[in-house]
Chain A
């Protein structure tokens, strides 16, 4: 199925490949190698995570998700989603697999925006592995205080925009 997403990605890939080629075949080869290395790392894990998330999606009561993260839940959905993103100590494979499960179960766009924003800002493993050792606790404190409102704000902006424009439920696939 050809859709806009694939088209945009395809054009971007070709354009960037051309830029890399102009910089020399060596740059081009390094780009290809990096892509293959990332694929080697990600694809096996992604397959497991997607399949696992599908089972978890079946296990999780979807009416509960729809009730707490759906459009009807309003601001409550944004708060629940923010909390869910906050406590998720995992990398992007798990986070996005869960987001896809939420989307399939009927979570609203503002809730999904809040969830992804919250996870990307507060991913706990990242704070412990990189931020504290490299920048220190006082930086973490400053950053957390500065971005504390961001996920809820993002959800609220999405909600406000949603009153003017209607979004399609995110396609998961």
Chain B
């Protein structure tokens, strides 16, 4: 199983896979540094610097420091939530085997099948690099199109790990809860629509089983 992380730019992080087998020694800390300050980090840094410079130029020095202090305050407030959310996500990742989750989908049809797919999508941890390969396996094993659509929509909109790591720290608990409840019926609606659409579905042959 290729190990992958839910990363900011949702790209595959090959280093992360190597890490797990390494002992938590000096090499691990060095790897952490290279993960933290990898290529996309500099993109984010450039974004911060360019937008900061633009803010300084357009709105003046006072506005620049205003924004900066507000940001630092926000960061300090958000930090404990992010730390806890990452702990939750980390333990969720190791205690919840993803293959066991998906083995449930496709065994039931009708509305029940869509419900199971939706629940499975909610609890599937990880970013797109783990969800889409699982989806490909599902398709190859003959899951119905409604269940596939419900599953991937549910993972995208309602994924618990995404909500914990992103919604809660950035938007607050109340908003996250409201969004979750409001969106709860959507994956099922999407699955029902998918079953009725007169579109042909030809899946890509999964190379190497997709894993």
Q: State the A residues within 8 Å of B (CB).
A: 1, 3-6, 8-10, 12-13, 16-17, 19-20, 23, 27-59, 90-97, 99-100, 103, 109, 112-113, 116-117, 120-121, 123, 125-126, 129-131, 133-136, 138-139, 141-143, 145-147, 149-150, 153-154, 157-158, 161, 167-168, 170-173
Residue of B whose beta carbon sits closest to that of A171 = B172
For this complex, 22 residue pairs linking A to B, each with C-beta atoms less than 8 Å apart, are A5-B168, A9-B88, A13-B87, A16-B88, A17-B91, A31-B91, A38-B89, A42-B82, A49-B48, A56-B51, A93-B44, A112-B179, A113-B178, A117-B179, A117-B186, A121-B157, A138-B201, A142-B201, A161-B178, A167-B174, A170-B171, A170-B175
Taking a contact as CB atoms under 8 Å apart, the answer to whether B190 and A54 are in contact is no
Residues facing A in B39-58 (CB within 8 A) are 40-41, 44-45, 47-48, 50-52, 54-55, 58
Closest approach, in angstroms, between the C-beta of A97 and any C-beta of chain B?
A: 7
Interface residue SS majority, chain A? helix
Interface core residue of A17, A131, A170 (most chain B CB under 10 Å): A170
Taking a contact as CB atoms under 8 Å apart, the answer to whether B135 and A134 are in contact is yes
Residue of B whose beta carbon sits closest to that of A103 = B171
Contact of B44 among A20, A48, A59 (CB under 8 A): A48
Residue of A whose beta carbon sits closest to that of B130 = A130
**What chain A residues lie within 8 Å of B132 (beta carbons)?**
126, 130-131, 134-135
**What chain A residues lie within 8 Å of B178 (beta carbons)?**
109, 113, 158, 161, 167
> Known contacts A16-B88, A131-B132: does B204 contact A48 (CB below 8 Å)?
no
Taking a contact as CB atoms under 8 Å apart, the answer to whether A116 and B167 are in contact is yes
A10 vs B83: C-alpha distance in the bound complex, in angstroms?
Answer: 10
**What chain B residues lie within 8 Å of A136 (beta carbons)?**
202-204
Q: State the B residues within 8 Å of A (CB).
A: 5-11, 13, 16, 19-20, 24, 32-33, 35-38, 40-41, 44-45, 47-48, 50-52, 54-55, 58-59, 63-64, 66-68, 70-71, 73-75, 77-78, 80-95, 128-129, 132-133, 135-136, 139, 145, 148-149, 152-153, 156-157, 162, 164-168, 170-176, 178-179, 182-183, 185-186, 189-191, 193-194, 197, 199-204, 206, 210
**What chain B residues lie within 8 Å of A145 (beta carbons)?**
193-194, 197, 199
**What chain B residues lie within 8 Å of A116 (beta carbons)?**
167, 171, 179
Contact of A91 among B9, B135, B164, B200 (CB under 8 A): B9
Contact of A35 among B73, B89, B200 (CB under 8 A): B89
Contact of A8 among B13, B83, B173 (CB under 8 A): B173
Closest approach, in angstroms, between the C-beta of A6 and any C-beta of chain B?
A: 6
The 4 closest A-B pairs by CB, nearest first: A35-B90, A5-B173, A16-B91, A170-B175
A91 vs B136: C-alpha distance in the bound complex, in angstroms?
Answer: 22
Taking a contact as CB atoms under 8 Å apart, the answer to whether A129 and B32 are in contact is no
Taking a contact as CB atoms under 8 Å apart, the answer to whether B88 and A143 are in contact is no
